[in-house]
Structure formats: structure tokens, C-alpha cells
Chain A
């Protein structure tokens, strides 16, 4: 069953999706039709978080979004965080903390942390440890043991704050 041509708005640009099937997930369309392989495909059932993107500013698993139902929404992928090739704050923090090993979970985690920092109150306090753990609880990493990821979040929070003031 064809979904007909439709337009998805991804990272601020409209992308025509010419002849997709109706059952394709947003993750599939991003990777296979729009040439945006940053969002990773692992479990395809919402458990691992490696396909996380923002849809209208909310963190979701792109594998659980029907692509054709995303028409008229604003999709942000990992590629959209650093459009000019310069690393975004959360990316820099991950590099600095050494929070990346095999790297497969990294795009999804960075999208999760970016959403967390967007939603934090602007009072200059560090995000509470429990809040941080909860925010990344939908993203599995099998290499790092999470210690350095938590460190990266704290660095990213500082960078985001500096940027605001």
C-alpha cells in the first residue's frame, strides 16, 4: 500500500517522500529515503532509544512513529543539532567526558539529553541526579556503564547555561 507522495519537515527543511509504503516508520524513512542515517536502528520496538528524535520538541522513538503520520510536524534529528558541522553543546560534552565508546547509542542519548536540558528550569542549578537518570532511562548503552554519560550531562548543563547567559 503506497502512502502517496508526502512532505516531512526535518531539521527545518521540507523533504518530499515520493513513493513510500504506508507502514514505514519515521526511522526507516529518515535513514533509507532521506539519507539521514544518524538515528540508529536496533530494536525497532521502542526499548533501546537509539532512534530517538524530537517531534514538535518532544523526545520520541522514531521507530514507533508512522512516517506518513508525521506530516505537518517538526522533526529534529541528531543531524539537526549541528547543522553547520560545529558540535552542539551536548556533543562537545560527550567528547570531553569520553562518554562515547562504540558510539551506537550516542545519537539517541544526545537527543535525550538535549531534550532534558531544553526542559530544565532556568535557575542555574544542576539537574538533579534522579531527574537525569530518569531522562536517559529509555536509552540503552552497553559499553560505558553510564558513569561518563552522567558526567557528560553535567558538563552539557554547564555549557547550556553559559550559552544562555
Chain B
């Protein structure tokens, strides 16, 4: 076992043991380990790598370390800079899970229900990958390639995620069977870029990968009165309908495709209304 202290330690260990189990918070991995479903003979532990911890601001961008925990997403200045991410983090699991689970682990798991993913796709996030061969960057929609599939190469790890700091309201909404400890049945992140006069919407749990509601975005950008911050009721309706059309949901044990399409439209309407309260009937 390697307890890495630096990013270089971790990359060297991964190069030496390409089949090693890369362990961050353990909240996804240990479930399989406990069930005896995960075979391995080397573990590289990265939760003590300082370069992966925390976050920093670089100009108009935030660099979020892969080791950032959900609890940390809700602390200090981050909820002000990235409200949608903080809201998403607060819906994850329980305090126990939020203290251990990380952004990098959520990305690497690439579950359609991963709660940070709709936020990151709405923000056009860039994933920074690192190995002993160097660094590369991928847009989030290039990184997540399918259900639990992504572009990580063997020996590679996620170092950080870069997102813009935007001026405007942000919302994250999730539907599940209770408020805590719930895998989302449908989730939605809406972020507003006032300077660019644009609304961006990311959807979770309603397609194999996190998706953007591109047509709904284009429509609503033109329908909002940006000077008063208001949205006519008819525009909100149409926006919700277009968001629902962007979903490609399936039936599974947590919900039917029909329910998901309905729910995502409800979330879209609610999020837009919260972001643009003006113009409500």
C-alpha cells in the first residue's frame, strides 16, 4: 500500500502499479470492497495529498482540488462563489458521507446520478488529469463518456476541476424519496451568467451522461428581460417543456422514464422561477 503525500508520489505509485486501487474518500469503493467484489493487490491512498485538497481562485476561475470533500464545498466562501455546487453537496448522502466523499471520486465514478455532475456540466467545467507522463485537460462532456465510463487512462488521476466564477444566481434541485441519503431520480442545475446574458442548465439522472438543455437555454436567453430580471409565465412554461425534451430517461428501480421527464420539467420551472422571481403571476 502507498499512502501518497504528494501528487508525484501518487503518479509514481500508479506508474509502478497500474492496476492499483486508487482510494480517495472510499465511499464508492469500499462498498464493493466490503462485498468482496473488488479484487486488488495494491492500494494508492490519495486523501493526504495536499495538492489535491481544497480550492483556489485564479482570476475568474476556481480550481477545485479532486480531494475537495462535500463538507468542504459547503464551507467558507465556496457557497457564495459556487452556490449550485454547495447546494448539490448538501444533498449528498449524510454528514458521514459528506465528510469523506470527494469531487474526484464523484467524477471518476461517472454515475448518471452523481450529484456534482449536472452542476459541472452547466458550468462548462474542465477536468485536469495528471499522470507521470504529464497533464491534460478535458471538457467535462468529453470526460464522462457513458454510464460509469470516462476518459481516465490507466495510471492517470484527476488532479482538479476548473470552473468559472459567474455573476448571477445558481440553483441545484434534486428529486428523491427523502431529503437525506438518497440517490437522485432526477436532478437539475441552473446557473446564470448575467454578464453574458445566458442561462445554462445541466441535467442529472435523466440520460446516460450529464446533459445540457441546449435548446431550452437558447430559448430562455432571449425570453428573459435581463434589465428587470424577470421571466414571463409563458416563457417559464415553454422553458420547462424544452428542458423535459432534452432528457433521455429510462425506466429503472428508482423511477420510470415518464416520471423522470415530468419531474425534470417541474425542477426546471422551479429553478428558473427562483433565479428570476420577477414576472411571476
Could you tell me which A residues sit within 8 Å of B by CB distance?
1, 3, 22-23, 25, 44-47, 49, 52, 58-61, 63-66, 68-69, 71-72, 112, 115, 134-135, 137-139
Interface flags for B147-171 (1: CB within 8 Å of A; 0: not) read: 0000000000000000000000000
Q: Decide: A23 and B31 in contact? CB cutoff 8 A.
A: no
Q: Which residue of B lies closest to A64 (CB)?
A: B30
Q: Is B250 an interface residue (CB 8 A)?
A: no
- Chain A residues near B93: list those with CB within 8 A: 46, 138
Q: Decide: A47 and B181 in contact? CB cutoff 8 A.
A: yes
Q: Which residue of A lies closest to B26 (CB)?
A: A64
Give the complex CA separation of A137 and B181 in angstroms. 8
Q: Provided the pairs A64-B30, A69-B1 are in contact, do residues A59 and B23 lie with their beta carbons within 8 angstroms?
A: no
Which segment of B33-41, B57-65, B184-192, B219-227 sits at the interface?
A: B33-41
- In the complex, which of the residues B34, B43, B47 contacts A68, with contact meaning CB atoms closer than 8 Å? B43
**Using a Cβ–Cβ cut-off of 8 Å, how many residues does chain B contribute to the interface with A?**
29
Min CB distance, B73 to chain A, in Å? 15
Min CB distance, A147 to chain B, in Å? 18
Enumerate B1-46 residues with CB–CB distance to A below 8 Å: 1, 3, 23, 25-27, 30-31, 33-36, 38, 40-41, 43, 45
Give the complex CA separation of A1 and B21 in angstroms. 13
Q: Decide: A66 and B95 in contact? CB cutoff 8 A.
A: no
Enumerate B46-99 residues with CB–CB distance to A below 8 Å: 47, 71, 93-97, 99
Q: Decide: A59 and B95 in contact? CB cutoff 8 A.
A: yes
Q: Provided the pairs A46-B96, A69-B3 are in contact, do residues A23 and B33 lie with their beta carbons within 8 angstroms?
A: yes
- In the complex, which of the residues A47, A60, A63, A68 contacts B99, with contact meaning CB atoms closer than 8 Å? A60
Q: Decide: A46 and B40 in contact? CB cutoff 8 A.
A: no
CB-defined A-B contacts under 8 Å, sample of 30: A23-B33, A23-B38, A23-B40, A25-B33, A44-B35, A45-B31, A45-B34, A46-B27, A46-B31, A46-B94, A46-B96, A46-B97, A47-B181, A49-B96, A58-B71, A59-B96, A60-B96, A61-B100, A64-B25, A64-B27, A65-B26, A65-B100, A66-B43, A69-B1, A69-B47, A115-B95, A135-B95, A138-B94, A138-B96, A138-B97
Q: Which residue of A lies closest to B31 (CB)?
A: A45
Give the complex CA separation of A66 and B99 in angstroms. 15
Give the complex CA separation of A44 and B31 in angstroms. 7
- Chain B residues near A66: list those with CB within 8 A: 23, 26, 30, 33, 43, 45
Q: Is B214 an interface residue (CB 8 A)?
A: no
- Chain B residues near A115: list those with CB within 8 A: 95
Enumerate B160-204 residues with CB–CB distance to A below 8 Å: 179-181
Give the complex CA separation of A65 and B101 in angstroms. 11
- Chain B residues near A25: list those with CB within 8 A: 30, 33-34
Min CB distance, A45 to chain B, in Å? 5
Give the complex CA separation of A59 and B93 in angstroms. 13
Q: Which residue of B lies closest to A71 (CB)?
A: B3
Q: Which residue of A lies closest to B100 (CB)?
A: A60
